[in-house]
Copies of this chain bind each other. A is one copy, B any other.
Amino acid sequence: MHARSPAGRRDSLRNNAPVTDHFQSLLADKTPFPDDLAGRLREQLTFLVEIDRLKTVMRQSPLASAERRENDAEHSWHLAMMVVILAEYSDEPIDVGHAVELVLVHDLVEIYAGDTPLYDSTAGVDQQEREVIAAEKLFGLLPDDQARRIRALWDEFEERRTPEARFAKAMDRLQPLLLNWMARGGTWQTPGITADDVRSRKAVIGDASTVLWEAGRRFIDEGEARGWSRTNISPG
């Protein structure tokens, strides 16, 4: 464990062994940095090497450009580009640089907590608990001031109380929608999922942008009309 972590954090990690067992050692421990690398920079580089793991966290979404699924690092970069290009459609003024920072860090906790598929109704049960533990472990590698700052960005994204967080979340929903459209179904075809489920899970796009949610709904409606998602069966 990282020397700066308070004892409480270490205990909470010990009590949640399943979350952290696979990550007992840090990537940086595989090839320790030169001994004389200064403390603060050493912590920052330890964190920056550790987050290389985001490139190995696989999502459900199929790429548009290759026959494989997307990983979290690729996804985070794609969201950042979407913020830069689509910010003009935010219903409220946003600080683009701040919204970009939110999407860059929004999935980091999945390095230790794993990806929770949007259409998996059971996987989310202990998701929040796992992600908080992961955040403490991962961000705790950084110098304290930066650990607090990255944690604050992640909390802001999760809580969606700022215009930037709402727009970042909208991108997080719109990007896989585009990839599913390109794949003519993709995860819309998850067993048990209907077009209405897709609409309800994507509706948060409308909390940030009327224009983008209108477009998103067009993609979903058209996909349903083409048979790329299941039409809802009324329970009566």
Contact = CB atoms under 8 A, between A and B. Distances in A.
A84 B101 contact: yes
A55 B48 contact: no
A229 to B, nearest CB: 14
Chain multiplicity (copies): 2
Contact of A82 (B33, B48, B181): B48
Interface string A18-54: 0000000001101101101110010011011101111
Contact of A104 (B38, B77, B105, B218): B77
Nearest to A44: B85
A63 interface: yes
Interface in A156-191: 178-179, 181-184
Interface string A38-79: 100100110111011111100000011110001101101110
Interface stretch (A92-100, A112-120, A128-136, A194-202): A92-100
A86 B56 contact: no
Given A142-B85, A215-B41, A222 B34 contact: yes
A94 to B, nearest CB: 12
A104 B80 contact: yes
Nearest to A175: B48
Contacts of A28: 182
Instruction: Tell me the interface secondary structure of chain A in the complex.
Output: helix
Interface residues of A, number: 60
B78 A44 contact: no
A80 to B, nearest CB: 5
A70 B178 CA distance: 24
A104 B81 contact: yes
Contact of A70 (B55, B142, B179, B182): B55
A15 B53 CA distance: 42
B37 A65 contact: no
Most-contacted residue by chain B among A53, A55, A70, A211 (CB, 10 A): A55
A127 interface: no
Contacts of A179: 52
Contacts of A97: 95-98, 100-101
Given A27-B65, A52-B78, A81-B105, 6 more contacts: A31-B183, A44-B85, A51-B81, A71-B74, A84-B104, A85-B142
In the A-B complex, the 3 residue pairs with the closest CB atoms: A97-B97, A77-B77, A52-B64
